[in-house]
Structure 1
Amino acid sequence: MKLNIVPARTGIQWVKLGVRTFLKQPLALTGLFFMYMAVVLVISQLPVVGIVVGAMLVPAATLGLMAATAEASAGRFPMPTVLVSAFRAGKQRARAMLVLGVLYTVGSLLATLLGGLLVGTPTAPVATPGDLDAPQVDARTMLVLLLHTPLVVLFWHAPALVHWHGISPVKSLFFSAVACLRNFGALFMYGITWMAVFLVVGFVVSTVGMMLGGVAVARSIMMPTVLLLVAMFSTSLYFTFRDSFQADDVPGPDAAGPPGGGETT
């Protein structure tokens, strides 16, 4: 396994590849994304353990969506079973993915608790009369999201490294962080491009909705539009991994080896 250093403009290409691949199999990839969301919603409703179990499954679910993208990118139809690819590659890697889930859960809980300790009781943001219907985000939520940033860096490539390269959970976190830092320019352009896509599409959709029937219509079409954009974003994650690492084999999403070509080190 070898780290690739890519130019900053590759980040824009990752967005294009994500959108293009999504449009190859829009129904399948949308269905898998909503299936993932439904499972998370159901699990989160479980008393006491719901939130913990849901967090533990985040790395495995991320890998499942990446495996679905790998299938669609190769011209194959991603079946629902691809979502559980993390648990179909043998006991050792399934166990490693669960360990990764535990580490993610602990990190997320620590970030949330630390945010609560630093800010304390959530404070209501100041809003103008025109903003009363807008979503409100308090200081504690913003701090918690900020504290989750290192977690995102550590786990960005980790599930794929565990599944496709057979790397141990702890090492996968280290290699993920190194890859993100070494390819910061590409990931920055990737994030900026997606932000621009969300803003432009949101503006166009809300404007059309307002013209057709006012605020109610705009809101009714905005939510499914946002969910579709998030599904496209999840599709593009696979390409950030594929182009950041090289390996010899080119297997399917359930195979033990990595999905890219290149030298092994």
Structure 2
Amino acid sequence: MKLNLVPARTGVSWVRTGLKTFFRQPLAFISLFFFFMAVVSIASLIPFLGTVLALMLLPSMTLGLMAAAAEAAGPEKPMAGAVFKAAIHAVRSDVRPMMGLGALYAILFLLVMAISAIADGGEFARIYLMGEPLTREVAEKTEFQVAVWIAMGLYLPLSLAFWHAPALVHWHRVPPAKSLFFSFVACFKNFGALSLFGLAWFGVFIGVGIVLSIVASLMVAVGGGDGGTTAASGAVMLGGALVMAAMFFTSTWFTFRDSFNPN
């Protein structure tokens, strides 16, 4: 395995290729994303350990969607069933190492939340992890805002460490702990491309968000603002956001594929 250094403009290519791959089997990718999200949501409902279990499952979800993208990116357009099968097979074949990676993610993420709690007594952590309501009074507190910035600052290196980690464990048989190091180094070396990747996706999200907002507003206006049309417009916004998330995860495979040479 060898690290590839790619030019910054590659980040835009990753977004473009990810979108192209998504639209080869859009229903398969949307179904997969909703399936994994449902599993994570159900796990989060388990008393006491739900939040930890949900966090542990996130690397497996990432791997599944990357494996699906790898299948769909082949020379020939695959069947939807083949895309779904590739995702499930990747997760099932590496259950133990992925659970180890998931445990590391849960521990480090909760550590980030614990450190942020020093600033505001844990208000931000409780809202983020336990779903407590966020009031305007709380959001305007200086301590709460400091906690948010601390969490964001600490989560950036954590996200870089786990960015390629699931794929390294699966495709290159790298042990979970070592995969974090290799992932962080790869992201740091190709930070320019990843930055453009993030900026390009930000632009896509903003553009689609504007379109969805216009559609939702038109639905409310045509429906006279009754409860049914308001709920439907909200469903359009939420559904659109989830579909965009599925597109984003599809494109992450290409950031890994171009960053590492198996030889």
TM-score range (shorter-chain normalised) is 0.7 to 0.9
CA distance in 2 between counterparts of 1:56 and 1:81 reads: 22
- 1:88-118 deviation digits (Å, cap 9, x = unpaired): 43xxx54322221111111011001111112
In structure 2, the partner of 1:250 is none
User: TM-score if structure 1 supplies the norm length?
Assistant: 0.82
Q: 1:121 to 1:97 in 2, by over 3 A?
A: closer
Would you say how many aligned residue pairs link Structure 1 and Structure 2? 235
Superposition deviation, residue 51 in structure 1 = 1.2
CA distance in 2 between counterparts of 1:121 and 1:46 reads: 22
CA distance in 1 between counterparts of 2:174 and 2:100 reads: 12
In structure 1, the partner of 2:60 is 60
Gaps of 5+ in 2: 124-136
RMSD over aligned Cα atoms: 2.0
CA distance in 1 between counterparts of 2:8 and 2:219 reads: 40
The AA in structure 2 aligned to 1:60 is S
Match of 2:249 among 230, 234, 239: 234
Superposition deviation, residue 79 in structure 1 = 4.6
In structure 1, the partner of 2:14 is 14
Identity within the alignment, %: 45
The AA in structure 2 aligned to 1:76 is P
CA distance in 1 between counterparts of 2:14 and 2:103 reads: 29
The AA in structure 2 aligned to 1:239 is F
CA distance in 2 between counterparts of 1:220 and 1:30 reads: 15
In structure 2, the partner of 1:84 is 88
Gaps of 5+ in 1: 127-137, 248-263
User: TM-score if structure 2 supplies the norm length?
Assistant: 0.83
In structure 2, the partner of 1:135 is none
The AA in structure 1 aligned to 2:259 is S
In the alignment, does 2:57 pair up with 1:50? no
The AA in structure 2 aligned to 1:11 is G
Which structure shows the higher helix fraction? 2
Q: 1:220 to 1:102 in 2, by over 3 A?
A: closer
Match of 1:199 among 201, 206, 211: 206
CA distance in 1 between counterparts of 2:194 and 2:176 reads: 22
In structure 2, the partner of 1:246 is 261
